[in-house]
Structure formats: C-alpha cells, structure tokens
Structure 1
Amino acid sequence: MLTADELKKRYPQKVASSDDIFGKIKAGDRIFISTGCGEPQYLVNTLVRYVESNPKAFFDTEILHVWSLGVAPYSDAKLKSNFRQNSFFISRHTRQAVNSGDADYTPILLSDVPSLFRLRQVTVDVALIQVSPPDEHGYCSLGISLDITRAAVESADTVIAQINANMPRVHGNTFLHVEQIDHLIWHDEPLLEYPPPLVEEKIAEKIGHYVARIVEDGDTIQIGYGGVLNATVAALSEKKNLGVHTELLSDGLVELLKSGAVDNSRKERNRGKTVASFCMGSRETYDYINDNPAILFREIDYTNNPLVIAAHDHMTAINSALEIDLSGQASAESIGSTFYSGVGGQANFMRGAVLAPKGKNILVLQSTSRDGKSSRIVPALAEGAGVTMTRGDLHYVVTEYGIAHLHGRNIRERAMSLITIAHPQFQPWLIEEAKKRKLIYEDQAYLPGEKGEYPAYLETYRTTKHNQRILLRPVKISDEPLIKEFHYSLSDESIYRRFMSVRRYLPHEELQKHYVVIDYTREMVILAIIEQEGREKVVGMAQYCLMEDTMSAEVSVVVRDDYQKMGIGFEMLSHMITSAKSEGLHNVVVDILPDNTAVFHLIEKLGLQYERKWESGIIHLIISMKDLAGKNS
C-alpha cells in the first residue's frame, strides 16, 4: 500500500487543504455522503467546521445519503440555511428531522437509486466518500460501502475521498483508481460500528428455532436489518451448504460464515462466494472481510435485482416488519403515518425469492412492541402505514410463538394462523376484532388463559421405521382446515375403527368443539404432520380426554390410510403416553373393536402393561402409567 508521503509525491495535484477543497462547493449543490458505517466522519465534520467558519460560503446544499449512523452535524438548526438532508432510508439519527419536516425522505427501492444518479434524474455535484489506502497500482477500495456509492462516484462532478487505513479492502466491484478521485484527504480514524438493537435472548432463540425449521440445507439466504434478525441467524449454524446473496452483510451472517454452515457450494450464481452490497457491524467483522476472497461485494442494483435474486434455486429471503395485519399486509417502513425506516431492499428480496425455483420468504417479528404494551399483529394496519408487503407477497410469518404459513391461504385461514402466533395476551382481542370484520367464523371459539395457551414444549420431530420424518405437535385453533382435510381422507373402515360408527359428515361446529379448540389442561390432540413443499399435511391424529373425577384419560389414535403400517401410529401413541405421564395421569384407556389387531400390536411393541375389559362388544385396554415397561395381564 502507498503511504501518505508516497501518495503526495505521486498525486500532488489531488492533495490539498480542506479549505481549498470545500471552497469549490457552490450554493445549491447536491452532496452525496457514503452509506452507513462507510460514512467519512472526518470529511463530514471538517465540512461542517468549514461552513461554521464561513457561514456564507454556500447555501441550500442538499445532503444525499442512505443510512446515517454518524452524528449528522449538518442537521444542526443553526446550519439550516446551509444544508438540508434528503435521505433514501431513515435511521434513528434522521428520524426526528424527517418527521418534523426539517429533512426530506425519498421513498424508493435502493436498487433504483444508481439509475437515478446515472440518468441524472438526481444530480450529484459532490461525493464525499471513504476508501482504503491505494495499492502500488493506485487502486483504492470502497470497502464496506459499495451499495449506491459507486454510482454516486461515477456520476458526481467532484469526488472527495477520505483515505482511512482502517477501511478494509473488499473483493468485488469496490475498487476505484486514484484518477477517478478529484481530491484526497488522508485521515485515519476508527470506522463506525453498528451494534444491532438488543433483543431478549429467549425470544431470539424461539424465533430462530422456527426459522431454522423453514430454512433447508443448501438454501441461499438473505438476511435483512434489525436486532431480531441478527440474533436469530445463530439458529442456522447447524445447517449445511448454505449460500448467501444479500444486501447487508451483518455480524450475524459473518458468524454464520465462520461456523461452516455457509460454503456457497450450491449457488447458481457466484458459486463459492458470499455476495453482498455493504457491511454494517463490528471491527471484528470488518477484519474478517478484509482481503477475503470468499466475500464479493457488488453494486446494489445487482444484489437487489429481483431477476438476479430469482436466479438462485432455493432462495430464501428473511426480513422483518414493524407490524402485520390479519389479512397479511405488512409494514416495515412506518408506524402509522410516522416514517420509521424506508422502502430499502426488502421488497426486492421478498418478491425475488418467490420467483426463484423452490424459493420462499420469511417475515420475522417479535409478537409485541419492546415494552409489551401493543401487539405487532393487528386487525388492520394503522392509518397512514406504508404497505411494504402486500397480501399476496408473504409465504411465512414467524414470531416467538410459532409459524404462520400464508401463501395460498384464504383470509379466514391466514387470520387464524396469525392469531395463533400472536402474544396470548392479545389473542382474545384479535379474535373479537376479526369477528367484527367478518374475517373469521362468527362463532369462532377461543379459550383464554392457561386453558388455551399452546403447549409448544410438546412439539417434537420423529423419524419412523420407514425413515419418514414427521412433526408431532399439539393442535392449534388454526388447524380446522387441516383436520377437516384429514378426516375426509379417511376410509369408511378407518372412521369406523376410530369412532365405532361411520360418521362421514363433520360440521364446523363439531370440528372446533371436539378437535380444534380444546382445553389443554384437560385434553390433548396431537397431530402427525408431514411438511411438503412448505405445506403441512396431517397424516395422523392422537387424542386424549380426562375422564370425569379420575386421573385417567381416554386415548385414541387414527392414521391416514395411505400412511398406515409406516410406524406413524407407534410414534404418536408413544408421544401421547409420554405426555399423559408427564401430566401426572395414572392410567390411559384405549377403546377398540375386537378385530382391531393393529392397536394390540402397537401396545405390545411399546411394552406397555395393560388390563383388558369387555363391555358391549368393545374392548377397554387400561394402561397403567406406573410402569411403562411390563407384561400385559
């Protein structure tokens, strides 16, 4: 790398005093400032000091930027006649100014900004950027801020660069020759770092657990902004052969790279490379990407191009939102009419991912606001809220309470799915509001409090003797369509063995009363589910109900005909017996017809001790919980 002295000798015409450089800025100029952690702090502060010393040097300049993490000294009220901000994305440092009318916000997809500059629909008169020291060939790197910065540099009349030895040299399209820069100021200082907002560890773990159930080995992933997303990435560390094609490279993603879960070996584009457009994180992360050939930065109109995103098989976009309504509309940019962040690149990735072969998107959010006083799942978006994701955009929504699969679901189904992953405190309110809006059945039942609190701890994955992976989980109030489909898939014989009669018709009222809306403290319905192409399919159902005034429960198991003799019944009954014992039950009773030898075989295989009683042509098998291994009597 060239030293400061060598730079002066080789390019003396580009090195001047700050007064000489900033003296060339004219009234009305548009000044671009590099993005996020790539902001040239020394240049910005020096510019402001120059204006403070020369208040009439220029007026009405417009500051163009994407994400300001610095102190933004140009926003000082006393400099109002000199500077006005125009942001393509809103950070906490500019939020108040935008919402008070003291700064401007341009809502636009970040992928469209480079063309604004190149077509001069938005002119850039001066670009303030930060680069690494030039190498012996005269090439500097834009480092952690490529995004829209390169387009600004190539479009600007004047480019002023702060050379900072702390800026990493990042592979990809980050390199500029010194000849492309008009003025150089060498000043080393620590780069801005971006500590993501803190998230409660337990909440992050739960959300991460559900996200990991959706993400598959070999997926190419994109992770958006925010503390929840950054924290939940850790849950993917056990995955294999993941790829990364993203806008933002965060600390969480870099830790995932270090874990070995990401090798980019299955990507269709840029195989073997982690592709991003800019980086915001810690010094450790910046050191990791420095001269790392596995990291490739590209301009934001490439990384965020939906056609490029869609070219990746199994593309999975994971982003967050501020709130989502019961119809599936989500806002990630405003809280009501209050601007909060921006359009950004989320929409590109969420839509590009679903265009990809076997692609999908996941919207992640904490179920409540940080103070817990309001639900992020709401009956309708607040008035004035920007709709970032429409009703047709989303595949999955994840909170710490579970997964709602929205793609291809009608309004009633998606409303019920979203209610099940809302905070239990707000579920009764959401049920009533959904009824008022005719989104769900007018007689939709719900059990508040402990009786209706979903026992997520009973969820488990099992692999049957035929190597079929199944999810065993308690029924949810949103499962009515699944159970209805399951019931009508059963043969008359299977229905007769389960109900002792051929009861084909199962109306909504009976379905929700007996199988869907249950008192978890007195009964349990466990579903055996196969996950196919992002859709849940019920292939078995086990149920127990407490018998009055006893510590015994009646148990039943039924398996879909085309999945019988595969070990699913064994896994369900085993899980149900274990659940019953953990609840302190003394006995479970299984009622069967004399010719139902399959249940006898299940019980024998489980090694359960039981007592046999006959009554009106029905056999009652009474299984003791005292000894789960023993001889039958």
Structure 2
Amino acid sequence: MKKGENSLKEYAQKLLTAEEAVKVVKSGDWVAYSHFVMFPETLDRALAMRKGELKEVKVKTSTGMHPAQVAIMDPEKESFIYHSSFFSHSDRQLGDRKLAFHIPGNYWEEVPRLYQGYTARPNVAMLKTTPMDQNGFFNFGTSCSFTHATAKMADTVIIEVNKNVPYCLGGKDEKIHISEVDYIVEGDHQPLLTLPEVTASEEDQKIASLIVEEIEDGSCLQLGIGGIPNAVGKIIADSDVKDLGCHSEMLADAYVDLYEKGKMTGAKKTTDRYKMVYTFAMGSEKLYQFMDNNPVCAAYPVDYTNDYQVIASNERVVSINNALQVDLFGQICSESQGYRHISGTGGQLDFTIGAMLSRGGKGFICLKSTRVRQGQLISRIVPTVEGIITVPRSLAFYVVTEYGKVLIKGKTTWEIAEAIISIAHPEFRDELVEQAQIMGIWTRTNKKI
C-alpha cells in the first residue's frame, strides 16, 4: 500500500460541503472558530445561513479578521451570539453595534486552562488549515495559538481546507491528524488576509529611537503590531546591533526585515536557539511566504510562548507593546476607551512579566502623548485611567512617549507621578501636576515639570 493511501480514503469519507458540515450544530451549542487570518469564513457563512433554524448558538474566536456573518446576519441575536477574546477592527465594528461580546483573559491561559473547569468546552470546532500532507496531517498555518487545544476539547472537529495557507513548521501542536478530524470542507481558497503597511509617524519614530537605545547585542525581541514596532525594526536594521533573537506571540514583517538584514540570528538565545518562536502571525504576503516550510520559524501553542517563565528563560528580553492611556499611578490601559472595548489584554501582561523576570530584560509600554477627538487635542496621560487596566502599576516597567522614556518600576507614588508627567504633552503638564496634588501624590520635593 502506498504511503498516505489510507489517509486519502479517510479524507474522501469525511469530505462534505460547508452546508452539510454545519448541520451538526444544535441550538445552545458553543462553536469555536480558528483565529486571526485563519478565521473560517466559508463555514461561518454556511452557519449564518441557518439563522432562524437555531437558537442561542454561542460562537467564539479571537481577533476575527473577517466580518463574522453569524453576527451580521442575526442582529437580534436570536440564533447566534458572537464573542471574541481580542477585538480586531471587524470585531470592534460589531461591538459598536452591540453584535459582539468580549471574553476577557490573559492570552497564555486562553484555552487549555480555561477549558479545565472555568468555561464551557466547545461542542463544535471549525478550523481553517492547509491541505492534508502525505502523512495525513493538516497544518494550522499562521495560527498555532490554542487551535490544537480547541480541537482536542471539542466534541466535533470540522476542518476548512485552504490551499493558500502556508505550511508553518513548529515546535509543538502546529498540526492535526485526519484521525482527529470528523468532517472536512474544501473552502473557497481565498488568499490569506494581509495587513496594510503602517507608515511610522514622526512620533512613532521618536518613540522607537528611545527604545532602540536600550537594545543590545543578543537581545530577544517581542514586537507587537503597528507603527512603533515597524519603526523599531527599521532603526535596528540600520544599526550595529547583532545576534538578536525572536520570542514573541506575534510574528510580524519587522522580524523578516531583521532576519534578511542579518540582524536576527537567534545565536544568543538560551531557549530555542536559532529559532524565531511565535504563536500566530499577521502581515504581508511576503511574511506568509517567508513562513512557508521555513525551519527557522517555530510555531508553538500560546501556553508555551506566553508562559512568563519560558519568556524569562531567555536573557535580555525586550518587550514592546502599545497602550491607549497611562495614569499618574502608573496603571496601563491598553484595551478600552472608557467602556468602549478596543482590543484585549492579549499577551501584554504576559510579556511585561516575562521581560521583568528575564536577566537583563526590559518591558516598554509605548503611546503617543495625545490623540485628537472631534478636533480637540486630548491627553493620553491622565490622572486615573478611564478604561480597563491591562497592566497594574505593580508590574509596569518603562513607559515611553515621544517626549521621553521613564523607568517607573520600584519608584514611590510621587516619583512615578513626576516621571509620568515629564513625558506628557507640555500643554497638559501643569494640569496634571494640579491633579497629582489633589490625589496626594505630589510633594514639595518634586521638581518643577
């Protein structure tokens, strides 16, 4: 018998149309979708067509990069209730229309621990994958994350095959065997969604320059998404820094640029030496092509990549994350504006702790000092945060704006207030000092800001 012949027979037996496959969903079920750009849009559309036929089916994902049809086609939420543990732009738009709900949680414990008694296990998992390989495995592509854990804990597993998904090699749980799959659907084979290139603003470049001063040979980087990480990558690419490592939740284009410039070798990493370790990826088509069958990249589940003890096992970890607001106590808000939900905790707290515990590690929270709302300049440095606290003051490390960087770890309350005000927009500093005095965190020993 030829290699893979049994798997091909099993494949044919399990192959269904999307419309046939979603018939397994019953009223009251929990349905778990795969995440990020691996969102199963073909199955989502087919399930949404059962509106009116089902009642109170709860659907959950993380960072759904395609508009969820189960939410859009059922605005009354009679058949479907849609949830996301980290809001994408699409999720945020649905949330503004009260069509999406958030599931709070640290990324590293997202599924494996939560399913062990804290939340309902999924009745049905719908997961986008690569085509089956000759050994009978489907690869999870750019989203290792908690995909395999979801499949293991689901009663029924449905695979949506897409030939445009890169085959991403991993350290663990990056694939699933056909014997673990109940049904297979061949999707529309749409190209993976790509992110538009973000041009770094002048403020982004100033912030990036301040951070790069703290990066040394052999540093192990965690970069997020957006203008600041891109700017950091470009500045490093033109610097003399060498032998950088990658241990990150997200693999982004900046890492590819650093690798191609010879800056990122992983040679000084303590754990997973020479490997670019990540749990999900989003970016350009160039990034996806770089990842395809590339042994330099290693996909791991999130309970490995975001375990702060694993993070800290590498020396000189530098974590770089964005915030929406920082207050005079040093509290970090990165996921909401007031009660309007923007994103999620994600791995920001995980990597802040991991960097703090790493020998020579540093954790940076970055934000522009202001934003504009209805033509009015608004300070993002505030007396007390108006939204959800993502990083408590007891764990905050460095805070950086275009006006400077300050280390607030180990400082007194009045020293923290003084430091934070010093990097606020000059127009708001006097007002912030007045608020600090009212709050009892300003003393006569404070220097004039």
TM-score calculated relative to the size of structure 1: 0.65
Partner of 2:218: 218
Change (3 A) 1:200 1:142: closer
Q: Where does 1:256-271 land on structure 2 (aligned, <5 Å)?
A: 256-271=258-273
- Which residue in 2 is equivalent to 1:92? 89
2:151 to 126, 150, 153: 153
Query: Over residues 359-386 of structure 1, what are the superposed CA-to-partner deviations in whole Å (9 max), with x where a residue is unaligned?
Result: 221111111125571111112212xx22
Letter of the aligned partner of 2:101 in structure 1?
A: D
After superposition, the C-alpha distances for 1:538-561 in whole angstroms (9 at most, x for unaligned) are xxxxxxxxxxxxxxxxxxxxxxxx
- CA 1:11–1:101: 2 relative to 1, 3 Å: closer
Q: Match of 1:410?
A: 412
What letter matches 1:69 in structure 2?
M
SS of residue in 2 equivalent to 1:369: strand
Kept in 2: contact 1:309–1:353 (CA 8 A): yes
Match of 1:175 in 2: 175
The one-letter code sitting in structure 2 at the alignment partner of 1:14 is K
Q: Deviations over 1:523-547 (max 9, x none)?
A: xxxxxxxxxxxxxxxxxxxxxxxxx
How is 1:77-116 mapped onto 2 (pairs within 5 angstroms)? 78=74, 80-98=77-95, 101-115=98-112, 116=114
Deviation at 1:10, TM superposition (A): 5.5
- Contact kept, 8 Å, 2:22 with 2:46, in 1: the verdict is no
Q: Distance in 2 between matches of 1:207 and 1:19?
A: 50
In structure 2, distance between residues paired with 1:352 and 1:445: 33
Which amino acid is 2:220 matched to? T
Contact 1:39–1:192 (Cα < 8 Å) also in 2 = no
Equivalences for residues 147-546 of structure 1 within 5 A:
147-172=145-170, 173=172, 174-187=174-187, 188-195=189-196, 198=198, 200-237=200-237, 238=239, 239-370=241-372, 373-382=377-386, 385-442=387-444, 446=448, 477=449
**1:127–1:152 contact (8 Å) kept in structure 2:** yes
Structure 1 residue 82: deviation in Å? 1.2
- Change over 3 Å in CA distance of 1:199–1:373 after alignment to 2: farther
Range 220-229 or range 208-217, more displaced: 220-229
Deviation at 1:222, TM superposition (A): 1.1
* Residue 8 (structure 1) shift: 6.2
Query: What residue is the counterpart of 1:482 in the other structure?
Result: none
The alpha-carbon deviation at position 414 of structure 1 amounts to: 2.1
Q: Is the 8 A contact 1:229 1:320 kept in 2?
A: no
| SS of structure 1 residue aligned to 2:121 | coil
Partner of 2:57: 61
The aligned amino acid for 2:71 is S
Contact kept, 8 Å, 1:228 with 1:366, in 2: the verdict is no
* Partner residue, 2:125: 127
For residues 152-202 of structure 1, give each alpha carbon's deviation from its aligned partner in whole angstroms, at most 9, with x where no partner exists: 111111111111111001111312222222111223111122236x45532
- What one-letter code is carried by the residue in structure 2 that aligns with 1:67? T
C-alpha contact 1:108 1:343 (8 A) present in aligned 2: yes
Tell me by how many angstroms 1:209 deviates. Answer: 0.5
Higher relative contact order (CA 8 A, sep 6+): 2
Instruction: For 1:193, give the aligned amino acid.
Output: T
Amino acid at match of 1:400: E
CA contact (8 A) 1:223 1:318 kept: yes
**Residues in 2 aligned to 1:40 and 1:346: alpha-carbon distance in whole angstroms:** 26
Q: Distance in 2 between matches of 1:91 and 1:442?
A: 45
Letter in 1 for 2:46: T
CA contact (8 A) 1:323 1:376 kept: yes
Query: What's the offset of the Cα at 1:84?
Result: 0.2
Deviation at 1:114, TM superposition (A): 2.3
Q: Distance in 1 between matches of 2:352 and 2:47?
A: 39
- 2:378 maps to a residue whose letter is S
Counterpart AA for 1:342: G
8 A contact 2:10–2:178 mirrored in 1: no
Contact 2:245 2:269 in 1 (8 A): yes
Structure-2 change in CA distance of 1:84 and 1:215 (3 Å): same
| CA distance in structure 1 between the aligned counterparts of 2:357 and 2:159, rounded to whole angstroms | 39
Are 1:317 and 1:349, in contact at CA under 8 Å, matched by a contact in 2? yes
Q: Contact 2:29–2:123 at 8 Å: present in 1 too? A: yes
The letter for the 2-side match of 1:103 is A
Give the structure 1 partner of residue 139 of structure 2: 141
Contact kept in structure 1, 2:74 and 2:80, CA below 8 Å: no
C-alpha displacement at 1:252, in angstroms? Answer: 2.2
- Supply the AA of the counterpart residue of 1:104: F
Match of 1:76 in 2: 72
2:20 counterpart residue number: 20
Whichever residue aligns with residue 140 of structure 2, its letter is: L
| SS of residue paired to 2:204 | helix
Q: What CA distance in whole angstroms lies between the structure 1 residues aligned with 2:217 and 2:165?
A: 34
- In the alignment, the residues of structure 2 paired with residue 351 and residue 444 of structure 1 have an alpha-carbon distance, to the nearest angstrom, of 29
> Distance between the aligned counterparts of 1:269 and 1:303, measured in 2?
11
CA deviation map 1:1-58 (0-9, x unaligned):
xxxx998656221112233211221111111111111112222223223x15xx31x2
SS of match in other structure, 2:89: coil
- Contact 2:323/2:365, CA 8 A, preserved across alignment: yes
Q: Is the 8 A contact 1:220 1:315 kept in 2?
A: yes
User: Aligned with 2:427: secondary structure?
Assistant: coil
Distance 1:10 1:388 in 2: 46
Given that 1:224 and 1:346 are in contact with CA atoms closer than 8 Å, whether structure 2 keeps it comes out as no
Structure 2: which 5+ residue stretches go unaligned? none
Give 1:258 deviation, angstroms: 2.2
Q: Distance in 2 between matches of 1:161 and 1:220?
A: 35
On the 8 A contact 2:328/2:416 being kept in 1, the answer is yes
Give the TM-score, by structure 2 length.
0.91
Do the aligned residues in 1 keep the contact of 2:406 with 2:419 (CA within 8 Å)? yes
Give the superposition deviation at 1:254: 2.4
Preserved contact between residue 38 and residue 192 of structure 2 (Cα < 8 Å): yes
Equivalent residue letter for 1:155: M
Whole-angstrom CA distance in 1 between matches of 2:106 and 2:164: 30
Q: State the aligned residue count.
A: 437
AA aligned to 1:411 is T
Q: Distance in 1 between matches of 2:361 and 2:119?
A: 34
Separation in structure 1 between the aligned mates of residue 244 and residue 74 of structure 2, nearest angstrom: 51
What's the Cα RMSD here?
2.3
- What amino acid is aligned across from residue 298 of structure 2 in structure 1? L
Structure 1: gaps (5+ residues)? 447-476, 478-633
Distance in 2 of aligned mates of 1:349 and 1:200: 23
